[in-house]
Structure 1
Amino acid sequence: MKLIKTLSLYIILFATSTLLAQKAKIKKAEKSYNAFAYSKAINIYEEIADKEVESTDLLKKVGNSYYFNADLANAKKWYDKLFNKEGEIEPEYYFRYSHSLKSIGNYEKADKIMSSFYTLTNSSDKRGILFEKTPDYLEKIKIQSDRYEIENLNINSKYSDFAPSFYNNKLIFSSERDTILVSKNKDDDRVFLDLFSSDISSDEKLNQVIKFSSSINTEFHESTSVFTSDGNTVYFTRNNFSNNKLKKDSKGTIKLKIYKASKNSNGEWSSGDELPFNNDEYSVAHPSLNLEENKLYFSSDMPGGYGLSDIYEVDINPDGTFSSPKNLGEEINTEGRETFPFISKNGKLYFSSNGRPGLGGLDIYVITLSDNITDKTIYNLGEPINSSFDDFSFIIDDETKKGYFASNRPDGKGKDDIYRFCEALPLVENKNKIDEEIVITNSQEQNIEIEKQTIRKDVTPEKNLVTPAPNLRFNPIYFDFDRYNIREDAKSELNKIILAMKEYPNIKVEIKSHTDSRANNIYNMKLSNKRAIATINYLVKRKIERSRLSSTGYGETKLKNNCSNGIKCLEKKHKQNRRAEFVIIYN
């Protein structure tokens, strides 16, 4: 009897200690989560999830941690579990789930979820309204796509590199490099950023990277800069700090502020003074100047806005003072994030948003702000500038049509990479119909060609929308003339296929490869086969089983237009034919 009592006591003590340990872990995870230290929170939450029943609250917080850490593919896995549980789910999770689904290319299901979001918000949320008003948003994005050639910069590191800006013949950008071992935020374990500089050579290549200025760079965050045309003044983003110590708001969060620094006659920069409309209780960040340098645009989460962050402007008066911030209004801002504004010399506002119908994550949009322009349409820049991941901090030189942007798409070198681009074709404005056919695939392994029409199905709110084999849609990839290497812009689409095939092991993919009509038929047939093989090899190298892939080379036998032998066509028409299309086969 004594032995039984002793064993019972040990069991009770063990159970109690285990319970206390779990509670301690949950408390630690909550602390990290509330401090926006999402990477730390993920590690603890997933450890908890391995040992106990996954509660609704746990699923939400793990999904959110991945979502706000810009890891949408993993966020999707946890939101899958959340939407399979019984119980009410807040509308905002429908929005996040939709974006997460787009990261693996499942636009069909993402759109169903957004339809539910629209219904659940009683048609009052602009994100849902914009989605409902543009059921053909993917077609509109396709119209704007393939206008840019992009290239991953050689200066990117394995860390985060973003926020490029023009400064004389240099590129200034933000990076975590060289700060990884010396400067971390103790609250969220994130590495602080500094501003770096790289000379742009005559052949447009970037040379050695050096830190921009020891006067401006501190042990805390410095990022997103813009320079006056004379090169003597810079506006930039920095952490809120005073006397070399970070300052927190009333909730314990460190906010961002915009600073202004000037260069003296010796070429030395001042440390910078904060602008008068900064505030300890909200962030003001990502400055951009108009051509006349009498207006400053920026992003902020200040009270009175429309969403998580809005775009604002202030007037810069002749005496150097500033007007009160003015919100650009609901024409531009949504309940989501509008951020990283850039004003080009011709008055176009480029900005990133996740509140508008797009490819997923932050997409880059453009609108002309001039009062003389009647077209106030906001255009998605399309692929390859945009992807199903975060695309942001876009800048362009209107004269050369060249510029830079950043993205966290998975084919990069680090967490965020900077890409160079050249705009080959102008924006297609005031065009509501597609000039060419779009090939999509249904679950019966048939190609359906839809020309100049939109199919839409009303969806009522439901929770259990997870299907083992969704009707996926992937865009074609394109090739350079007489080449079969995989271009940088094609990798983002192939990476979607990789994510989808890993997520759904029951699907196979057939690759249908094509050429334009130049060269003879036999040569083009061989070239199309090489393109198909190169595509398969790209997927296989990234752990997709070869047995799940098949290919057919069609040469020039299935042209998308009338550019056949002997017909003179513009290069952009030939380009439409140099493609590989993807057919999803469901087992």
Structure 2
Amino acid sequence: MKTISKYILLTFVLAFSSAVFAQNGKIQSVKDDYRDFAYVKTSEVLLEVANKGYKSADLFQKLANSFYFQNKMKEAAKWYGELMNMNEVIDPEYYFRYALALKGIKDYEASDKWMEKFNELKPSDLRGKAFLSKVDYKSDIEELSRDDIELLNLEINTELSDFGTTEYETGIVFASARGGGRKYRWNEEPYLDLYYVEKTKDDTFGEVKSIEGEVNTKFHESSAVFSPNGKYMFFTRNNYHRLKYKEDDTGINRLQLYRATLNEDGHWDNIHKVHFNSVDYSVAHPTLNVTGTKLYFASDMPGTFGQSDIFVVDVNDDGTLGEPENLGSSINTEGQESFPFMNTNGDLYFSSTGFPGLGGLDVFKSEGIDEKIKTGSNRNFPIENVGKPVNSEWDDFGYYENLVTKRVYFSSNREGGKGSDDIYTFEVPEIKLLVEGVVQDMNTEELIPNSTVILYNEDGVEIARQTVGEDAYFKFEVDPKKEYLIRVEKEKYTSDEKRFTTPNKNQELKMELLIEKDEQQIEPCDDLAKVLDIPIIYFDFDKSNIRYDAEIEIQKVLAVLTKYPTMHIDIRSHTDCRGPAAYNEKLSDRRAQSTRQYLIKKGIAAERLTAKGYGEARLVNDCGCEPSNNSHCSEEEHQLNRRSEFIITSINGKTCDEDKN
């Protein structure tokens, strides 16, 4: 099938070639602290430990997360930074969170660096891909494709070429070879002219008429665009003006941009070439931004990256143009970029052979380009393939959309059409998306009613919030192709959040939000080591002095004892069964006493502390060292017995009766 998109482009080839405010459960004074019990808020303990200069990856992870989930990005960035300085192997998710925290304090350069590291460690994660504008095009095309769109081949199409639509007044203007007359030798169809057809109330079209005035000639005219005030029209024509037909040194007649003015009779005349036209290169396919201050077009002028590029130029008040500027390498490739269209939101659509697509020319989109150019921001313009059904394995081009009526026009030479190129249209179906799910306890999977679920946009601005009922169920209406963050918070619980990007199609969006208790109820006989998630406190071999890594963990106990002056504890040190029993008992007792003395030196009254070593007398499993037992126990099982306990013997006047526990 011969195609106008190809012969117009042949002229180019020959001629053109994206704050939680967690409800901080306040720790009340001891005398009224939830009646008889105290509560430990882990994040406060960790902050106190860290502020004393103690360092560990676990400490910084938990502390940074506590601020991150409260949307306190300055503090979160500080402690994530401390975590990164540890130079330890960590979950890549922390790089992502650190990058967002830095972005939250407008340290964009550092944020970019850490997002790049995140992308290196998780190259399949779409968040990093979107940030770096590196997407898996195949999955991206499928994600952006729509199966709810019904294409309509316009009734005005002919067996010849019809393409390049723009709305004008109450109808559309397009290019067509239907006019008869001399034929273009490349495809043996008549040369193109511009036509206007009025759209009727029932979405059909009236009589197709040649556009009024002096625009159409015996050579090609196509791709018209109208200024917002209706005074000017820019369009494409062969290098033919005032009856002069010009070719370059190789005998090729190039495409050029022209400007026409609407006269009092409603006809287009006073045709002028734009000043940067040339006999040596082509300039074609103009589109204007919503204010008419910027004109975008395609050209192979000097400075072009490939066969044809997209350029932008200022439009002066009198309709004259400034100096063109190439949009750069994020839009333009070594292939063909052509047929630009700028919608009223400032999003650029264009066709390209230089980016991975479905075949031939595909239509691509880059959002917000016009605003970026106006503000002089960076020229990194992420692009996306608009997907099916606009794109196909054929040539798809000439995209135009009306964001108010949701009406889209585009051109294609796909199979099943009436002619070489046809104009297709559709009305964009409304997408209704719900994100819904439940709030659950991370450890028990129980539903957590009365939690507050908050929805934020990609900039961290709160959009909506809900307090879930007994079913812990939440739901929010969301827009397609948007980035959101959803967060849950509840008093005495840590927060949870999930960042997600909505699809461009109707589908279910299910989500679970998992939270765990941040404040744990403590009472006599509880072990602070378990409450504070203190692992084994290691001592050097055959030693009882406090090592640095052990000191960090003991600081957590110190913080709790300082906060609750009525608390008394019994420090218990245990070993596994290996080694002489009597020696194990003495060694563990020295370690327990060493821990007690450390706390006393830090200001805890001696009468609040007891300490004893039990050696291997209180194993927590059956890994005794009798020959019948020892052989089946692994090193990990023996390790469970090498533990430290900090048993609360009394608090708030209540004592521990271990015989009843």
TM-score (norm 1): 0.49
Richer in strand (by share): 2
TM-score (norm 2): 0.44
